Structure 1
């Protein structure tokens, strides 16, 4: 589980100034907040929506807050794309993720082929794991990506290569909310990624999806959901 360390405040989203900075109304004042996610998230970041800010300070910062959560239909959604790697690594090392039994994380951010993959795994058989942050859910179905991503398809091709070279290969879709009952690729937004994901699964790459419980205290992985290809 990831526990939020700093004080938080709720506010109302105003608008996004660019991919990583937004204006938010907090305590009657308009402030700027860092958005730790480059995704579009139009269903979450719209004028007037309730959001959660974490107070942050440090040398070089241009804002005093990180925008870490947004409300959707009564649920809190974590939008911090930095969290999934931490959460998945912790859950693997604690033996809490179905499908990863006996594996541990050896290293983070490892070069493989023409890409950098999120985790190098060790156990009876070595492996690689790529992790994707998911915030989009429609009618109970979590979907990725919410914007075209050539990088995502490239990662899948490297996982296919790793599988063919005798490694275990995983891609994990971590849904940072708890209202999803299944996962599928967002073919309408990025058909290339959907095609690559199907090729990866057919090649033996293990495709996993998990949901999270989100509160203003923190975020934790709670259950596996089926992948609908």
Structure 2
């Protein structure tokens, strides 16, 4: 079972990226603007001439005509919507597809913890409540997925909140959802954000679970595939 992608997708050619959330592309015979729901750099994916798949979007006051959904990278498709991993994770937990989180029947999203909001609080009969933060990963170097691909102070703050909860006796986990199928392992991106990498190692030492899963992506859906090795 996967998360369905928009039924109406148009092939397009990437031209440039005027800002973090806007892409210009050639689509349907003209230059269009599309919303990119991923603040990462995506430098290895968004090269001039790259094929994109855009979903039309119409809403009052909206400045762009499309959303960027997929990028073709060599022989594979990469999902570049950072809103998808939370949907994928929640669906997989409900379906019992992630062995590490089986038995959690109650999935509460967007839980306020201190000054932050964590993605999920999982609860289930006879289970220790588990706080989960899900991170969207699109960068793969060789066969190694890496996060983040741009510095993230927010990401480090979330890790510290998870560590506090773990010390209080809760389960706490950070889950890296790799929105492509070619990764064989995961590592923090030390070069881009050494603080995040160091913090991830520290919280892992305190008992925060660090998990990474790759996804199968096609033109119709994105679905959880399998867990990959963590290299801290």
Category of TM-score, reference length = shorter chain: over 0.9
Contact 1:98-1:224 within 8 A present in 2 as well: no
1:120-159 aligned at under 5 Å gives the runs: 120-123=121-124, 124-159=127-162
Q: Residue 156 of structure 1: SS of its match in structure 2? A: helix
Contact 1:110-1:119 within 8 A present in 2 as well: yes
- More displaced, 138-147 or 113-122? 113-122
Matching residue of 2:40: 39
Contact 1:208-1:224 within 8 A present in 2 as well: yes
* Segments ≥4 residues shifted beyond 6 Å: none
1:178-217 aligned at under 5 Å gives the runs: 178-217=181-220
Contact 1:184-1:228 within 8 A present in 2 as well: yes
Q: Residue 6 of structure 2: SS of its match in structure 1? A: coil
How far residue 122 of structure 1 moved from its aligned partner, in angstroms, is 0.3
How far residue 218 of structure 1 moved from its aligned partner, in angstroms, is 1.5
- More displaced, 19-28 or 55-64? 55-64
With structure 1 as the length reference, what TM-score do the two structures score? Answer: 0.97
Contact 1:163-1:169 within 8 A present in 2 as well: yes
Q: Which runs of 5+ in 2 are unaligned?
A: none
- Cα displacement string for residues 190-209 of structure 1 (whole angstroms, at most 9, x for unaligned residues): 00000110011111111110
Q: Residue 68 of structure 1: SS of its match in structure 2? A: strand
Q: Which runs of 5+ in 1 are unaligned?
A: none
Partners of 1:72 and 1:104 in 2: how far apart?
37
Matching residue of 1:108: 109
Q: Residue 162 of structure 1: SS of its match in structure 2? A: helix
